[in-house]
């Protein structure tokens, strides 16, 4: 049975007030006083910090700061366990709050681009959760609530969150521990610091690895032509410069042209195609591979590099158009 509308409004209002109060008073809280208070509770300190971390996730307090504090308070092993548990429980609580308060309302009113995006996320399910937990460009606190508005099941959400946040939690916890060691002048600081930087570098490398795993197999030009002729929902994206589209290799009719160097700031032009299959063309396939990694890291689920690019397309004698298309960028100097 759905909760009464007035109850949802009441709880939503109380949540907004709590978030606003937490953000307003955040800068007035002395972290040293909080750490001293938690340490003074003795054996209850880990549980108290776990509750604080959980509450912080719900109220939009910065998770990285809490994670560093957990490392300073409890060391690398217990600190990682407490931080990861707090992040997972807090993220799950925010997920459930959003689902209870607004998921039905969003499902009834979502349309157009928002509906397509929501359905794409739901189709990816736990894989989308895992990807966004590993890639740091997605804000942790906001993501918890946003995912609660989808129909992703709770258990896959919890498991993917727990597993895929573990590398980052371990790295930041260890950095917090090293910071405390530096303040107390403990021995072996250089080795500990290098290990902390190594863990942080590993956590930073994971998004690139995930992007490569998400990239689909390369397509041959004959396969691309067959799918286009069959009316497949394949979107062709040409990442060459506009000047090259007017060159001897020509262009594929109806292809979207976004040069690879402009792709990071023009991703919104492909927002409607986040769940569509994309076929990426360049002169060969080197720039297409670079573009594919970028798109995969930004949530595009079905990205294919076309093997050999426009060179292979021409060698196969497949049809091309000449001149710039209506959706092409303004001409600029080709970079080769």
* Contact in structure between 113 and 271 (CB atoms under 8 Å): yes
Q: How far apart are CA 250 and CA 311, in angstroms?
A: 10
326 in a domain, yes or no?
no
Buried b (16+ CB within 10 A) or exposed e, 127-139: bbbbbbbbbeeee
Per residue in 105-139, pLDDT tens? 777 777 666 676 677 777 778 888 887 887 766 78
Using the 3D structure, point to which of 163, 195, 212 is the last residue of a domain.
Answer: 212
CB-count burial class (<10 Å; 0-12, 13-18, 19+) for 91: buried
Better-predicted residue by pLDDT, 279 or 4: 279
Task: Look up the domain containing 19 and give its range.
Answer: 5-212
Query: Residue 144 phi/psi, 5° resolution?
Result: -55, -50
Does 336 score more than 50 pLDDT?
no
Whether 31 and 9 map to the same domain: the answer is: yes
In a domain, residue 335? The reply is: no
3-class state of residue 181 by DSSP: helix
**pLDDT at residue number 118:** 75
Q: Residue 197 phi/psi, 5° resolution?
A: -65, -35
Domain match, 120 and 164 both: yes
Write the CATH number for 264: 3.40.250.10
Determine the pLDDT at residue 97: 93
Q: Domain for residue 120, yes or no?
A: yes
Give kind and range of the element (H or E) at residue 124. helix 112-124
Is this model's pTM higher than 0.85 or not?
Answer: no
Tokens of 246: 């007017």
Q: Does residue 150 lie in a domain region? A: yes
Among candidate residues 179, 212, 245, the one where a domain is terminated = 212
In this structure, is residue 332 part of a structural domain? no
Identify whether 334 is part of a domain.
Answer: no
Q: Identify the pLDDT of residue 276.
A: 84
CA distance 281 to 189: 50
pLDDT category at 281 given cuts 50, 70, 90 is very high
Is residue 239 over pLDDT 70?
Answer: yes
Which residue has tokens 């062709």? Answer: 236
């Amino acid at each position: 049975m759905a909760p009464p509308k007035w109850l949802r409004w009441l709880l939503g209002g109380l949540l907004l007030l709590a978030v606003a109060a937490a953000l307003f008073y955040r800068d007035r809280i002395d972290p040293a006083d909080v750490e001293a208070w938690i340490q003074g509770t003795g054996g209850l300190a880990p549980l108290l910090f776990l509750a604080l971390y959980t509450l912080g996730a719900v109220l939009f307090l910065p998770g990285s700061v809490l994670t560093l504090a957990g490392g300073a308070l409890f060391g690398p092993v217990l600190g990682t366990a407490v931080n990861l548990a707090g992040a997972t429980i807090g993220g799950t609580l925010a997920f459930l709050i959003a689902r209870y308060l607004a998921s039905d309302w969003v499902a009834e009113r979502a349309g157009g681009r928002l509906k397509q995006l929501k359905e794409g996320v739901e189709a990816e399910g736990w894989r989308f959760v895992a990807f966004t937990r590993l890639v740091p460009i997605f804000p942790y606190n906001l993501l918890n609530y946003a995912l609660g508005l989808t129909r992703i099941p709770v258990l896959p959400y919890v498991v993917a969150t727990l597993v895929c946040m573990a590398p980052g939690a371990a790295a930041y916890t260890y950095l917090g521990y090293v910071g405390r060691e530096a303040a107390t002048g403990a021995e072996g600081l250089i080795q500990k610091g290098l290990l902390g930087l190594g863990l942080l570098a590993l956590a930073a490398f994971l998004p690139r690895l995930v992007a490569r795993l998400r990239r689909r197999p390369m397509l041959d030009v004959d396969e691309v032509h067959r799918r286009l002729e069959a009316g497949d929902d394949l979107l062709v994206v040409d990442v060459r410069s506009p000047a090259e589209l007017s060159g001897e290799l020509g262009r594929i009719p109806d292809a979207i042209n976004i040069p690879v160097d402009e792709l990071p700031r023009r991703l919104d032009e492909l927002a409607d195609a986040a769940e569509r299959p994309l076929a990426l063309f360049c002169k060969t396939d080197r720039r297409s591979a670079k573009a594919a990694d970028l798109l995969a890291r930004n949530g595009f689920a079905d990205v294919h590099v076309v093997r050999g690019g426009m060179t292979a397309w021409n060698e196969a004698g497949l049809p091309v158009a000449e001149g710039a298309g209506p959706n092409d960028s303004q001409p600029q100097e080709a970079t080769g």
